[in-house]
Structure 1
Amino acid sequence: MTLPAAIARRLRVAAAALVCGCAALNASAEDITPYLQTPTANSIWVSWKTAEGDASIVEYGVDGEPLDRTASGATQTLASNYRLHGVQLTGLQPETLYTYRVRTGSQVSPVFRFRTQPTAARKSGHFRILVTGDHQLRNDDRHTPLLQAAKAKIESLTGLPLEESVQLMLNNGDQVDVGTLDHYEFVHMKPSAVVSGNLAIMTALGNHETYYDPGLVNWRAHNFYDQISYKGIAAAADETYYAHQVGRVLLVYLNSESGFSAQAEWLRKVVAAANTDPDVDWVISVVHRPYQAEQYVGDISQWFRDTAMPILAGTRKHVLNIGAHHHLYARGQTRDWPIYHIISGGTAWDQFWGQSTERDMDDVQKTIANWTWQLIEFDLDAGSMKVSTYAEGHPKLGFAYNSRLIDEFERRLDAAAPEKPELNGAASGATVTLPQSFSLSPFMSTSGMAMNSTQFQISRDAAFSSTVVDLIRDVENLYGDTGSPDYEPVDIHAGVDIETYTVQQYGLNNGSYYIRARHRDANAEWSSWSDARSFKVEGSADGDPALRMAKKVWAPNEPVTVEYLNGRSKAKDWVAIYRKGQTPGSATPSIKWAYVSGVSGQMAFTGLAAGVEYYAAFLTDDSYVEIAPRLAFYVGNMPELAVNKTQFNVGERPTFNWSGAPAGSKDWIGVYRVGQTPGGIGSTTWAYTPTESGTVTLGALNKGYYYAAFFINDAYFEISDRVPFAVGSEIASVSLVNTALASGERLDIRFSDGPATAKDYIGVFRKGAVPGIDLLVNYYYVDGRASGSLSPLEALPDGEYFLALYINDSYTEVSNRVEFTVGAGNTPEPDPRALGVTLNLIRTGDALEVTWSGMPGNAKDWLGIYRSTQTPGSSSPSVQWRYAGGAAGTASFSGLAVGEYYVAFLLNDGYEEAATRVPFSVRKRGDINGDGIINVADRDTQRAALGSCDGDARYQPLADFDNDHCITQADYKLWYALFVKQ
């Protein structure tokens, strides 16, 4: 039985800090659907959830034979009504169909069937993977119809049941909106039930799995990944990244949220092993935050892009990366490696064109704002992988597409690259005036693959180390859509000759250049570069001289590379390195120097002393005349800076640790508000750091978002990464110009002092809603700004609402709430018959306070307390009861034992119920986390809530023993007294 939505909301409020947020009572046997995972050729894990019962039994047999085998496993009691069962079936035969059912006491599931995985020895036939993910919506189940459509389409294409045609399903993260048990049951497991009893599902960690799940307790409980290893390389201890081989495919699941240093080392080992493994032909990586995105620009995993992808590119077997986080479909190719990358964004929060910061990226070929799934098919005989993407709907149109094929691409092992092209245009060495066109000879390939892309590069030097044009274009470039009413993708390369590049007038400054170009085919393979041509531009503009560096902190003994641009074309222009404070001149020789070679280029300087701040200068004609702004940098180790926690109370003093510092007497740590630039404004608080490592506690801070950085030499040169943290709650401010809007009037929103993270948004809810549980009416991203204004184009329907600022795609509220009405409002009239309780979750020894109103007022109307499994009647007496004594009133019930109950209002000494039942739970006093015992787990929950008050995300009502609505040391002492007495 599922609780009514309003009751589920009240339960969520009463247990806001619990890891669970359970909204279900006993599940009937027919509701049990197994969830298959971690499959191999010889084993598979079967998991399922029940509300009660500890037995974990799987009855199974080879398909077509009796269920004559039995396997048992373990049960995790995650909450009083949430038992998660896990059984591993072992000793299975490869590529064999089995039938099975699961049993917990008298609760028995229907019979399902699955097929085991092939071994690596199988090198022929087909191997298929279904890809979905990012479905996360709690109150708008779009994932179920998407999976139903995918299942139907695949079975139609193959003529086989899903478990016979597809080997595996993978999910790329955000399969919950918050990591509570309620969401794991109703957002993750329940929608997946369309396939989860027949097809094993493997998942990657998304950012939403980390919300409301301290220590990823629920993530680790639901995913049986701890035993996974590849070539002896084990999964992460917290099960957030792992490598899983199925057949001849190695799937590498990565964590885009944390653990980057250790994860990179782990990944290097996996890639090195896979590269030499004769039993692995294909490597596919799965990570939640994507490699690249054309909407919400910058909201990607920079770690994956800069660190993980280059490691994966160490083997040519890595052919595909699958990401999510953006709720749409996108496909592209890495610039230099034969690797495809896609975004499979599922059916989560609506994302469409015109909603965010957008930019056409040359390593993204298609972005289509559709709800999609993918079928990856390997033809082992042909050595090919084909990825087909099917769309089911659009955020503006709903489920309108019926498995429309919107994209398909292929990757073949060992296919020949395109032939080297010739470059046509101005003769090599020619002097040209702009515009000037260059073109490639026609695309040619012996592999039979079509042309997909071209790349033109123009550089100041023959080695192409100083490119001024680096242009990749694809035969089609889907970017944007047609808008209402059809929202069809638009190919902005339609009619573009990508084999020709024209340098427009003033497109290059005067000077000498080199140009080359190449083809790429639909197999993501580049041809060799064409022979380069040199040319000289005259009659154009001269650019401003400048210096450029890739970074401003260089490690000891690392060559310092300086790029110079737009020089004066004089043979003795030069670049020099000086210490900070020096002035170029004959009396002050430079530390290092070199003449330039051409108008633009780069040079590397070695042998610079560590622990010193320098600057580079661009000087002309053997003189000390500087022709470009100086470029400051530092040589030395980058200090590591950390703060003792990331969330502080107002007035609390933050403590910082540092190590690996230069130990200068005037080096210092400074704290600034987010959005402030050091030097342009003074720090909020600071301290000198004259030692290599140490700890310092700085002054108390007011409410706000801050960052700390490490500076040197009593100045504002930062040599560390910035460390962000927050002080207080409801830090940001939001307001409305008008809080009483006419029907159809647009919102005019102001906000300030926000955290300025990528996906902060203004969320709008109906009055009385609970964020994270109740439906989000609308949301407006603020594009990473700390302050600003919004005026959404679409008006809201008439009604009563509130809005607030929420941080980074979560339901963590970081501002005040603003209530407002549209039109006359639509607050419903109160139910004339109302029955309620003050709290839905109480402790033993506490009284249950019951209220009622609008009742008939019969002399013998009565209130009854029943166990959740009871039905009122003469054969099932109430636990406690009393006459109501009036049409409205209050009553108190005490002495209730631990358990699940409901209160009912019954008429005239009979069993006719006059109002909706109100459920409630009684938990043992001191048992804060609901596992039935008082132990250190409750202590940890109590400690985690210390310093919070009612309304804070960390507040835990069952930890508030003195009922003052705040969790303090006094509450901890009361809990501890219960702990030691048991």
Structure 2
Amino acid sequence: MKRSDFLRLTSATTAGMATRSILGGLLVERAISTASAAETGSTLKPYLQTPRPDSIWVSWWTDAGAQSIIDWGTSVDQLVNQVTGGMQNLGTNYRYHSAQITGLQPSTFYYYRVRTELETSDVHRFKTPPALGTKTGRFRVLVIGDNQIISTERRWEKLIGRARIKIEEKYGVPLEEAVDFILNVGDQVDVGTLNHYRNLHFEYGKSVTPNLASMTTVGNHETYGGDSNLALYKSLFYYEQLSYQGITSPGGDAYYAYQLANVLFMHFNSESMPNPAEGIGNVQKQWAQDIINAAKTDDSVEFIISLCHRPYQAEQYVGDISNWFRTEVMPILAQTEKHVLNIGAHHHLYARGQTRDWPIYHVISGATAWDQYWGQSSEIDYDDVQKTVANWAWQLIDFDLDNRDMRVECYAEANVRLPESTRWTTQAYNSRLIDSFHRRFGIAAPHAPLMTNTGSSAPGQQNLVALPFILHSSAFASDAPSEVLNSTQFQVSADAGFSSLIIDRIRDVENLYGDTGAPNYEPVNIHAEVNVLDFTIAANALPDSHYYARVRHRDSNAVWSGWSAAYVFDVTGSSAAGTSLSLAKSIYAPGEDILVSYERPSTFAADWIGMFRHGESPASAVPASRQYATGGAGSRNFRYDFTPGMWFAGFFGNNGTAEIAPRVPFYVGTPVQITTTKATYDEAEDVTVSWNAAPGGEDDLIAVYLVGEVPGTATPAITVPARSRHGKRTVAGLAKGFYYATFLVNGQAYELSPRAGFSIGTLIAEVSMDTAVVTAGQNFTVRFSGGPGIPKDWIGLHAAGGTPGLAPLLSYLYFAGATSGSVTFALPDLPPGDYFVSMFTNDSYTEVSNRFNFSVVAA
């Protein structure tokens, strides 16, 4: 587009937040709004979705009007084509109009307007995506996560508006010329209601969505507010027609896949899945496997991007991720190197990491939803997360199709810890580049490094070292001059095959974790002074024994080198902790090898590990299998074909039967499946618990515990026998509470099933305060008990009479999923008046406690 045309389009806008930008040396005054050729100030704001090379869907809201008409053409003054769509009367003043424009050409600009019999919109412009399989030119995607909250600050509106400004400055053309479409990674709303969809997701994005099509992913908040089956969500978005290679989604709009250019996008549903025994999770997995099987050999697809609202990993609110996606779906996607990036959200910040073994990036695009910052929750520095930055940010994915190159940039716009009055104006942000990374195909892997320690022992010799001891790697080397060292991985094993890992550490050259605190809250690189080419084994970290160490390097293209040759050494003089025995798992399939790891300070060569059936006495029974332990630490692989049932591994001293470490029980068989007929029951209602694939033991039990209780340390609320392979039992008389049912084998506190959670009653938890009168400016503490035990349960503060989810949320505090405890509110500016506090579960507006009412009085 000519510069004069660009100026005409951008200067014609009339609404939004004004800004100033430099374009080609010319100072241009413009506004964050729709770049249209003929602005009339219409209230109709179209929303583009489901872009295809030959079609696009257009939707818009009105209070009244029955017609749904689109006028369109290839020039602003030639809207000679017309399409008529449909209108859903979803509620009073909630009329949703939609129509699909078809017969379009790839990579072509079109102009359009929408109208009813009562009103006509401004004219807007969009560009169709390239033809499927296109491998030339650039293809760009704007990624912007959680919208979620309606507030006077209008956070998401500001964020997406800032993204538009930056992109147009960066490329010197209107947004729709620079970027192809938008990915939104879930939580488009706070609750799945008409009010939130229309006045949050559609309203806050209106400066961009008439020009760029959006594609959304189901988040947990879409399932709240009475839309747990996603009926409203499915009525607003038109994804069910999408498919890849003829493979359609069994989930319709809830999860789906499509190809644009040479990129395949897969949107997963980490929410609203009933119990896995009902097959929904397995159906989605099979759909993913079918897609990957087709994509592996499809030459028209060179990149695969996956989206799943709950992320692959997170360093805040530890555990609040999708373990289902991490453990069951990601290995399917990793079957092809084409899968280069997974995008999550849910946490309201930015994070980026790499999977441990595959060249796959994963990011959190958490945008601007509820406040999240360092020190607020449970936190762990994971080695598969390289950066966690508590900023409000958006990402730009830029595919260089000619060179098979993907580059991702992340731009921050604000920090929630800064005052609202200045957080959007501080020069520290304002589209500040906080991360960039790339994935390039056709680049050689790094060279395998060397362990440069001297004196590696030869067979039959000893290379004695004292702890602490530093393992040294050679310098990074690569035939790709554009790539540099990003990570190292050191492993120490008790065996030459590295099957019994004692140390396994990945460290990144740059590791952003935590912040500097007030006043600027800048991210901190905790590896700034760390030489990741060296690894120190701390004093007494290993017992005296024979060990093998190796190292490998990962480059800035996320590709690992091969492993170095092993460095062999013997630790001496260590006073490491005593004897131990461990297994990697608690349940093994019949015929599966069982690897047992051990440590010991003993010098007896005849210490041994034996496998016994549950109930057998080592003093009188013959072990099913046994092996000697040598050295201070090591592992033994038991290949014995253990029959189904309960077993234990024992560690015995000097050819005797005296046990020198606690026994480790394990089960051979398949996990038992436990389900309840419902997730929530009324008080005094019976609960039906079913089980399947059980061993059928005489002493097997179904046990019901309160959430937070642990088998073996707490008495179950009730137990019932489960002596058959499958069956069901009715449980009566449970008091109000949050519970889980689990399967205990042989009457022991040994669980053979995933826990099946359910609740009895409503407003189960209890909240209270020491006083119902608080003096303005003073902190006050809220105690709670009987909570659901979910990481993002929270206590919310509302004004008296307010309806949570609709009335303003004045303040809130998470408490790391504890079932009981207390939180303290520090609200010096809370004015005199009447208020209440109550508990909500799982980052939702589902109220699960009583309301404690109190008053704030003037000092």
Does TM, normalized by the shorter one, top 0.5? Answer: yes
Query: How far is the alpha carbon of 1:136 from its aligned partner?
Result: 0.2
Deviation for aligned residue 1:678: 2.9
Report the secondary structure of 1:779's partner residue.
strand
Gaps of 5+ in 2: 1-39, 274-279, 458-462
**Inter-CA distance 510–596: structure 2 relative to 1 (3 Å threshold):** closer
**SS in structure 1 at match of 2:51:** coil
Secondary structure of the equivalent of 1:205? coil
The answer for the alignment partner of 1:159 in structure 2 is 172
Alignment-mate amino acid for residue 131 of structure 2: T
Q: Which residue of 1 aligns with 2:215?
A: 202
Q: Counterpart of 1:816? A: 850
1:453 aligns to 2:521 (yes or no): no
Partner of 2:242: 228
Distance change >3 Å, CA 708–CA 795, structure 1 → 2: farther
TM-score (norm 1): 0.79
Task: Choose from 110, 133, 136 the match for 2:122.
Answer: 110
Answer yes or no: is 1:705 the counterpart of 2:742.
Answer: no
- Asked whether the equivalents of residues 547 and 629 of structure 1 are also in contact (C-alpha less than 8 Å), the reply is yes
Instruction: For 1:355-754, list aligned pairs within 5 A.
Output: 355-397=376-418, 398-399=423-424, 400=426, 401-429=429-457, 430-448=463-481, 449-566=483-600, 568=602, 570-585=604-619, 587-596=620-629, 598=631, 599-610=633-644, 612-754=645-787
**What SS does structure 2 have at the residue aligned with 1:148?**
helix
Question: Does 1:253 find its partner at 2:256?
Answer: no
* Contact preservation (8 Å) 1:559, 1:604: yes
SS of equivalent to 1:266:
helix
Cα deviation for residue 639 of structure 1 reads 2.3
Shift of 1:793: 5.2
Q: How does 1:883-902 map to 2 (within 5 A)?
A: none
Deviations 1:292-324 (A, max 9, x none): 111111111111111111111111111111111
Out of 357, 376, 381, the position equivalent to 1:336 is 357
The answer for the alignment partner of 1:762 in structure 2 is 795
Query: 2:811 corresponds to which residue?
Result: 778
Deviation, 1:146, is 0.9
How far the C-alpha of 1:421 sits from its partner, in A, is 1.6
RMSD: 1.8
User: What corresponds to 2:84 in structure 1?
Assistant: 72
Structure-1 separation of matches of 2:641 and 2:49? 55
8 Å Cα contact 1:796/1:822 also seen in 2 = no
The residue correspondences of 1:241-390 to structure 2 (distance < 5 A) are 241-257=255-271, 258=273, 259-390=280-411
Shift of 1:668: 2.4
User: Does the 8 Å contact 2:251/2:284 carry over to 1?
Assistant: no
The structural deviation recorded for 1:757 is 0.7
C-alpha deviation, 1:695, in angstroms? 2.4
Residue deviations 1:869-910 (CA, integer Å, cap 9, x gap): xxxxxxxxxxxxxxxxxxxxxxxxxxxxxxxxxxxxxxxxxx
Residues 97-142 of structure 1 show CA distances to partners (whole Å, capped at 9, x for unaligned) of: 0011112222221111110010134322211100001110022421
2:53–2:132 Cα contact (<8 Å) kept: no
Residue of structure 1 equivalent to 2:34: none
SS where residue 836 of structure 2 aligns? strand
TM-superposition CA deviations, 1:765-824 (whole Å, max 9, x none): 122221101221111111011011223456452333211111010111111111223342
Q: Which has the larger radius of gyration?
A: 1
Q: Report if the CA contact (8 A) 2:239-2:252 is conserved.
A: no
Match of 1:788 among 818, 821, 832: 821
Superposed counterparts of 1:849-928, under 5 Å: none
- Go from structure 1 to structure 2 and tell me whether the alpha carbon gap of 1:642 and 1:67 turns closer, same or farther (over 3 Å shift): same
| Contact 2:133–2:301 under 8 Å retained in 1 | no
Q: Which moved more, 1:146-155 or 1:444-453?
A: 444-453
SS in 2 for 1:30: coil
Q: What is the Cα deviation at residue 164 of structure 1?
A: 1.0
Asked if the contact 1:555/1:638 (under 8 Å) is kept, the reply is no
For structure 1, which runs of at least 5 residues remain unmatched after alignment? Answer: 1-27, 826-982
CA distance in 1: counterparts of 2:652 and 2:792, whole angstroms: 44
> Which is further off, 161-170 or 814-823?
814-823
Is the alpha carbon distance of 1:333 and 1:360 closer, same or farther for their aligned partners in structure 2, counting shifts above 3 Å?
same
Distance 1:280 1:765 in 2: 51
Is 1:96 aligned with 2:108?
Answer: yes
Once the two structures are superposed, what CA deviation does each residue of 1:168-222 show, in whole Å capped at 9, x if it has no partner?
A: 1000000100001111111111111111111010011100001121321111011
Cα-to-partner distance string for 1:53-106 (whole Å, 9 max, x where unaligned) = 332221111134511111122222222432222211111100000011112222
Q: Aligned to 1:405, what secondary structure does the other structure show?
A: strand
What is the distance in 2 between the residues matched to 1:496 and 1:201? 42
SS across alignment from 2:235 = helix
* Partner residue of 2:146 out of 120, 134, 144: 134
C-alpha separation between the residues in 1 aligned to 2:384 and 2:795? 31
User: d(CA) in 2 for partners of 1:492 and 1:639?
Assistant: 43
For 1:680 and 1:382, how far apart are their aligned partners in 2?
59
Task: Kindly provide the CA deviation profile for residues 566-590 of structure 1, in whole angstroms up to 9, marking residues without a partner as x.
Answer: 36354333222212111102x3112
Q: In the aligned structure 1, how far is the partner of 2:398 from the partner of 2:179?
A: 9
**Equivalence for 1:59:** 71
The answer to whether the 8 Å contact 1:225/1:235 transfers is no
Aligned equivalent of 1:240, options 254, 268, 280: 254
TM-score (norm: length of structure 2) = 0.90
SS of the residue 1:306 aligns to: helix
1:228 Cα deviation (Å)?
0.6
Residues 637 and 363 of structure 1, relative CA distance in 2, 3 Å threshold: closer
- 8 Å CA contact retained: 2:133, 2:260: no
Once the two structures are TM-superposed, the CA of residue 557 in structure 1 deviates from its matched residue by 3.4
Match of residue 44 from structure 1: 56
Distance 2:675 2:134 in 1: 51
Structure 1: which amino acid aligns with 2:247? I
Q: Which stretch has the larger CA shift, 531-540 or 101-110?
A: 101-110
Q: Which amino acid in 1 is paired with 2:568?
A: S
Counterpart residue identity of residue 236, structure 1: P
Identify if the C-alpha distance between structure 1 residues 479 and 761 changes in structure 2 by more than 3 Å, giving closer, same or farther: same
Aligned mate of 1:177, from 169, 174, 190: 190
SS at match of 1:791: strand
CA contact (8 A) 2:625 2:638 kept: no
For residues 506 and 672 of structure 2, the distance between their equivalents in structure 1, rounded to whole angstroms, comes to 38
Alpha-carbon distance change, 75 to 638 in structure 1, aligned in 2, over 3 angstroms: same
Q: Higher mean Cα deviation, 329-338 or 424-433?
A: 424-433
CA contact under 8 A between 1:705 and 1:755: conserved in structure 2? yes
Report the alpha carbon displacement of residue 474 of structure 1 after superposing the two structures with TM. 1.3
